[in-house]
Structure 1
Amino acid sequence: MKFEVYCDESSPEVLWDRTANKYLVLGSVWIPSDFREELKEAIKQIKNKHNYRNEIKWNKVSPSSFNFYKALVHYFFSTDSIRFRAIIVEADKVDMVKFHNDDSELSFYKFYYQLLHHWILDFNEYYIFIDHKINKDLNRIHNLKDVLNQANLFSSIENVQALPSHELLGIQMADFLMGAINGKMNGKITSETKKEIINEIEKRLGHAIMATPKAEEKFNIFKINLQGGW
């Protein structure tokens, strides 16, 4: 079966500036490839219903767009063909020198690997899209694809591509859902509208936004333990 994965990140600056935030969050939306057009049409209808014309982004949540984003939350949780996975990294626990050659960009893509690898299943094909960012090492995306293929011998990573978020609804959805997690975990939300959207997500979850069991398939949050132990 063919799957598409759309990824985005929030607060990557914490890997080189520990005062910026406490957590780095990476998020991903997973859909069957043959669901893409249905997703685009459904989002188009929700946008039209609520007269929303902007790109879908957590930073665009406002009182005037509340009903649109509330409808988007409802659509996500009521649609079986969309799944979401995020990882949370506590920045001050990252040993950049010991494990990442003192290279924050390398550590960033290692965490991307952790986001993706554990949901890649045998005998499937995967097409992965990442929000475009400028890298010092131009081989980062290529290397991520190679490492994922080496670690998943019975599946095929057909493509890992960086594209601007405005071109892909999946990346926009990832930005929105991941932004809610980032806001909750880093505790810096002052907007009452964003707080209400987080409440809507938590009502659908039936619990607060937090790390979930590994087996959670709809809205999975993995908080990496960087201190070892059991």
Structure 2
Amino acid sequence: MINIYADETCTHPSQGKYLIISAITLESEVAKPIRKRINSLKANLPQSEFHFTKLTKNTVHQYKQLIDLLFEYYHQKESYKRGIFKPRAYRKITFDALFVEHQKIDNVTFNNGDAKLGFLRFYKTLLEFLVRKYYLQGQKFDIVPDDINLKKGLLTVNEHEIQLEGFDSVKHLINQDFELKNGIPNVIHRIQKHQSHAEPLLQLTDVILGLLKCKFNDSNLTGSKREKARREVLSYFEQRCEEAGIKLDLGNMYPYRSFNLWEFNSVEF
């Protein structure tokens, strides 16, 4: 089983220039030891969970340890290839983020004026890209988004007189398209929302996402009581990325990168 842990931030224009939806992808066998290590690290946190908004000067060391854990597994390469585009060998843990500039979102034209419908379509765009990028023959995807309050009636699909909505519709539409194009049915096993405090890998996703939000949206830094701590952890993250040869810039959807920040302009697959 291939696991995807997804999270989002800055869903409203007042929160920053970009809407950002991100995901960590790894196999379930790799997820187990990482989850155990995160649980061990967070035992020393006063809040008993990693969450970027809860980073303080007293927990900087633990958050740096979390970043070290990410790169420990990132530096481990797979010995086999994955993907539908052009199969490639990836890292044991990968990270992808979709950046959508709020000024370019036209919900009136494309989403009947419904911002939540537009948001869910962007979410589907990222997940569909990840499924095609990391597909491994014989494996299915188990997708875990952070718990999101989505109303009913989004991306509604009528299938055999059963109405599918929200993430159920996303699963159905991606599976349908993947089978049509690749002859492989039910590539997504399930999409099940989860509370981040109960899933360590969602906490890891949240922290990376928070750092990227600070870097590209300049959010939660200036004027914050926790500005110094956040800048210190961001600087450490940037240093580790540079050491790993990761470019923290917004480019295209690169299927060959294990760490990819993608600015959405159009669907390219």
TM-score by length of 2: 0.76
Q: CA RMSD in A?
A: 2.1
Q: Which runs of 5+ in 1 are unaligned?
A: none
Counterpart check, 1:82 vs 2:93: yes
CA distance in 2, matches of 1:119, 1:136: 25
CA distance in 2, matches of 1:197, 1:216: 27
CA distance in 1, matches of 2:238, 2:189: 35
Q: How does 1:133-152 map to 2 (within 5 A)?
A: 133-137=148-152, 139-152=165-178
Larger Rg: 2
Over 3 Å counting, the alpha-carbon distance change for 1:35 and 1:11 in structure 2 is same
Q: How does 1:162-181 map to 2 (within 5 A)?
A: 162-181=193-212
CA distance in 2, matches of 1:149, 1:56: 33
1:130 CA displacement: 0.9
1:55 CA displacement: 1.4
Conserved 8 A contact 1:122-1:152:
no
CA distance in 2, matches of 1:176, 1:162: 18
CA distance in 1, matches of 2:256, 2:207: 20
1:179 CA displacement: 0.9
CA distance in 1, matches of 2:148, 2:130: 23
Give the structure 2 partner of residue 6 of structure 1.
5
CA distance in 2, matches of 1:170, 1:200: 20
Give the structure 1 partner of residue 56 of structure 2.
62
CA distance in 2, matches of 1:212, 1:169: 29
1:212 CA displacement: 4.6
Conserved 8 A contact 1:184-1:209:
no
Give the structure 2 partner of residue 161 of structure 1.
192
CA distance in 1, matches of 2:2, 2:140: 6
TM-score by length of 1: 0.88
Give the structure 2 partner of residue 193 of structure 1.
229
Counterpart check, 1:38 vs 2:48: no
Kindly provide the CA deviation profile for residues 83-139 of structure 1, in whole angstroms up to 9, marking residues without a partner as x: 111111101110111122211111111111122111212533000011112222162
CA distance in 2, matches of 1:151, 1:41: 35
